[in-house]
Amino acid sequence: MLDLLKIPVYSIQEFTLLTGRAYRNLFLRPHYWDDVVIQMDIIGFGSLPIVVLTGFFSGAVMALQMSRALSQYGASGQVGQIVAIAIVRELGPVLTSLVVAGRNASGIASELGSMKVTEQIDAMRALGTDPTKKLVTPRLIATAVVLPLLTAIADFVGMVGGWIVAVPMLHLTTGSQYWSSSWRSLEYNDLAQGLGKPFVFGMVIALVGCFYGLQTTGGTQGVGRATTQAVVVASVWIFVLTFFITRIFVNM
Amino acid sequence: MADHGPESVLRFERVVVTFDENPVLRDISFNMRRGETRIILGAAGSGKTVLLKTALGLIRPDSGRVWVFEEDSSDFSEHQWMKLRRRMGMLFQESALFDSLTIEENVAYPLLNQGAPPPPGEVRSRVEEILTFVELEHTLEKFPSELSGGMRRRVGIARAIVTDPPLILYDSPTAGLDPITANTIMELVAKERDTKSATTAIVTHRFQDGELMAKFSYNPGSGKLEPVLRNGTDPVNTVFMVLKEGELVFEGTQAELEQSRDPYVSKFVKH
Ligand SMILES: Nc1ncnc2c1ncn2[C@@H]1O[C@H](COP(=O)(O)OP(=O)(O)O)[C@@H](O)[C@H]1O
Ligand SMILES: [Mg+2]
């Protein structure tokens, strides 16, 4: 029984230590800004096409789903509002983060995992750099900054997707009503949670990816395992955390 | 300690390292002095790599002490280790070159990251100089994946010695290489030892690597390795060490190794 608990307890302890170090490095020199920029490029621009695609279709499908229900109550004019709230509060942040988790938690874990099994992490330490400073903190900063931006783009594209379904396709409402009702329905609170969530999820994705990468043992097979675990764990955390963050905002 | 001879460079005192409750190094003690060459033999999995990583502070012992340059590293922070590691070079088993960096950037890495970096022009010329030393001056712009195993090993050596560290550790420099390439590598290792008088530890499973280090030395005049003349005092001071499942089962000279009756130890001697 104790043995069964030992591995998760050990993992949590190691994860906490890594997290602590990654944040402490924010205030310690040297800072590897070049690596931050490179990571922003990889994570941000690299994810842009797929984020735009998922954003567009989630907005479009929301409008499609809502069209019938709303016309039953004669409220099809409200479609802009419904799409806006669903996208900005929940679908934009969560779907974007899941996409980035699938792409980048795995990318980070496999990159760091290969470095680990080929002793490049050891070499880094032997040659005067702290891998948490050089590898983890830049990825943490980059993902936390880039993910809210990607989410904002996904939100906007999702609204456009909803508009295409609601206005030119199904004629549920007029274009100006769609945009004005969606704009009016959004409150400061919605924007705060809509951008706060991806900020938190970005940190989770980077830290989980780095953690599993740096924990890799057992050669190339181990890299594959680390990659899968990173995606699964990061995705589950996104769902769990979005519940708790939403809970906080609903109470406010 | 009332010791004689040159000062200690690396000393293990009853070092134990365990992974998941498996002892990987069991009660290892030895003392390496300045100018010495130490050949570490042992079967695969006997703990040779772990021993070198423990010497570098990459792995911390569960018990026992590691003294580096006569400093007890037991309570060292990672920061203190970083300072010590500037005086140690390490060639990793599979070279461990950074595969996102060019050869030039790989070799420049310790110059730029260990202590205050020299002026940019100096970095470039130093990198060129050391790549010429390992006869790879034409590969500056290449990436590690574009080089053969033997060439990567040589870049690894260049990166390990570019800062002229007084203590150099080589992890299996000849493993997986054909005999000709392996010899080129060992000649480089001997050349570095004899031109910089660096204290050198070499992990290997080839007895002839040790023999070469013990019996030959580099002559800068002729640019070749030449047999060491046996005129009484042995100018090349080579100690052999054999690890077996984490235990130190032999430590002594080549002659003593060749005379050993232990079946495990004598397996490493070429007949
Ligand atoms: N990071 C690690 N985690 C768990 N076990 C390890 C680790 N590194 C090495 N070992 C184990 O320690 C033993 C010695 O390994 P090593 O020093 O690499 O052997 P070698 O003499 O071939 O270099 C092996 O049994 C290996 O499985
Ligand atoms: Mg080894």
CA distance B251 to B243: 9
CA distance A164 to A171: 9
Closest C-alpha among A214, A32, A129 to residue B106: A129
Q: Are B14 and B29 in contact (CB under 8 A)?
A: yes
Give the pLDDT score at B232.
47
Q: Suggest the residue from A116, A127, A130 to mutate for an interface test with chain B (most B CBs closer than 10 A).
A: A127
Closest C-alpha among B185, B116, B199, B196 to residue B153: B185
Q: Which residues of A touch B86 (CB under 8 A)?
A: 128
- Distance of alpha carbon A203 from its chain centroid, rounded? 8
Q: Are A113 and A221 in contact (CB under 8 A)?
A: no
Closest C-alpha among B11, B48, B19 to residue B206: B48
Give the pLDDT score at B229.
66
Distance from CA of A126 to the nearest CA of B (A): 6
Predicted structure pTM score: 0.91
Task: Please tell me if the CB atom of residue B17 comes closer than 6 angstroms to any atom of ligand 1.
Answer: no
Cβ of B53 within 8 Å of Cβ of A127? The answer is no
Give tens-digit pLDDT for A39-96: 999 999 999 999 999 999 999 999 999 888 888 888 888 889 999 999 999 999 999 9
CA distance A39 to B106: 20
Does B58 contact chain A (CB < 8 Å)?
A: yes
Does A41 contact chain B (CB < 8 Å)?
A: no
Task: Please tell me if the CB atom of residue B200 comes closer than 6 angstroms to any atom of ligand 1.
Answer: no
Q: Sign of the C-alpha dihedral, residues A121, A98, A243, A137?
A: positive
Instruction: Kindly give the interhelix angle for A219-251 and A106-117, rounded to the nearest 10 degrees.
Output: 140
Helices (H), chain B: 48-55, 78-85, 103-113, 120-133, 149-161, 179-196, 207-215, 254-259, 263-266
CA distance A95 to A117: 32
Q: Which residues of B touch A130 (CB under 8 A)?
A: 78, 82
Task: Please tell me if the CB atom of residue B49 comes closer than 6 angstroms to any atom of ligand 1.
Answer: yes
- Sequence-separated (6 or more) residues with CB below 8 Å from residue B255: none
Q: For residue B37, list its beta bridge partners.
A: B200, B238
Give the pLDDT score at A5.
77
Distance from CA of B206 to the nearest CA of A (A): 22
Distance from CA of B62 to the nearest CA of A (A): 17
The DSSP bridge pattern shows strands B36-42 and B199-203 to be: parallel
- Sequence-separated (6 or more) residues with CB below 8 Å from residue A41: none
The complex scores an ipTM of 0.91
Task: Please tell me if the CB atom of residue B50 comes closer than 6 angstroms to any atom of ligand 1.
Answer: yes
Give the pLDDT score at B271.
54
Closest C-alpha among B155, B250, B246, B164 to residue B207: B250
Does B210 contact chain A (CB < 8 Å)?
A: no
Distance from CA of B164 to the nearest CA of A (A): 13
Give tens-digit pLDDT for B152-163: 999 999 999 999
Cβ of B96 within 8 Å of Cβ of A128? The answer is no
Q: Where are the domains of chain B?
A: 99-164
Give the pLDDT score at B233.
53
The minimal CB distance from B85 to the residues A118, A120, A128 is found for A128
Give the pLDDT score at B234.
56
Distance from CA of B89 to the nearest CA of A (A): 8
DSSP string for residues in chain A = -HHHHHHHHHHHHHHHHHHHHHHHGGGSS---HHHHHHHHIIIIIHHHHHHHHHHHHHHHHHHHHHHHHHHHTT-GGGHHHHHHHHIIIIIHHHHHHHHHIIIIIHHHHHHHHHHHHTTHHHHHHHTT--HIIIIIHHHHHHHHHHHHHHHHHHHHHHHHHHHHIIIIIT--S-HHHHHHHHHHH--HHHHHHHHHHHHHHHHHHHHHHHHHHHT--SHHHHHHHHHHHHHHHHHHHHHHHHHHHHHHHHH-
Does A8 contact chain B (CB < 8 Å)?
A: no
- Contacts of residues A17-23 at CB distance under 8 Å and 24 or more positions apart, as own/partner, are A18/A132, A18/A136, A18/A207, A18/A210, A18/A211, A18/A214, A19/A207, A21/A132, A21/A136, A22/A132, A22/A136, A22/A137, A22/A140, A22/A207, A22/A210, A23/A140
Give tens-digit pLDDT for B117-151: 888 889 999 999 999 999 999 999 999 999 999 99
Q: Are A237 and A251 in contact (CB under 8 A)?
A: no
Whole-number mean pLDDT of chain A?
93
Does A2 contact chain B (CB < 8 Å)?
A: no
CA distance B136 to B126: 13
Closest C-alpha among B156, B170, B158 to residue B40: B170
Task: Please tell me if the CB atom of residue B19 comes closer than 6 angstroms to any atom of ligand 1.
Answer: yes
Task: Report the nearest atom of ligand 1 relative to the CA of B171.
Answer: 23
Q: Cβ-count burial of A186 within 10 angstroms (0-12 exposed, 13-18 middle, 19+ buried)?
A: middle
Give tens-digit pLDDT for A129-175: 999 999 999 999 999 999 999 999 999 999 999 999 999 988 888 88
Does A217 contact chain B (CB < 8 Å)?
A: no
Closest C-alpha among B231, B106, B107, B84 to residue B165: B84
Q: Which residues of A touch B88 (CB under 8 A)?
A: 126
Q: Cβ-count burial of B261 within 10 angstroms (0-12 exposed, 13-18 middle, 19+ buried)?
A: exposed
Give tens-digit pLDDT for B34-67: 999 999 999 999 999 999 999 999 999 999 999 9
The protein residue with its alpha carbon nearest to ligand 1, atom 16, reads: B47
A-B contacts (CB, under 8 Å)? 48
Does B117 contact chain A (CB < 8 Å)?
A: no
The minimal CB distance from A119 to the residues B82, B86, B92 is found for B92
Helix (H) or strand (E) holding B202: strand B199-203
Whole-number mean pLDDT of chain B?
90
Give the mean pLDDT of B94-104: 95
Q: Which residues of B touch A127 (CB under 8 A)?
A: 85, 109-110, 113-114, 159
- Sequence-separated (6 or more) residues with CB below 8 Å from residue B120: none
Task: Please tell me if the CB atom of residue B42 comes closer than 6 angstroms to any atom of ligand 1.
Answer: yes
Q: Is the model more confident about B230 or about A196?
A: A196
Closest C-alpha among B270, B197, B219 to residue B240: B270
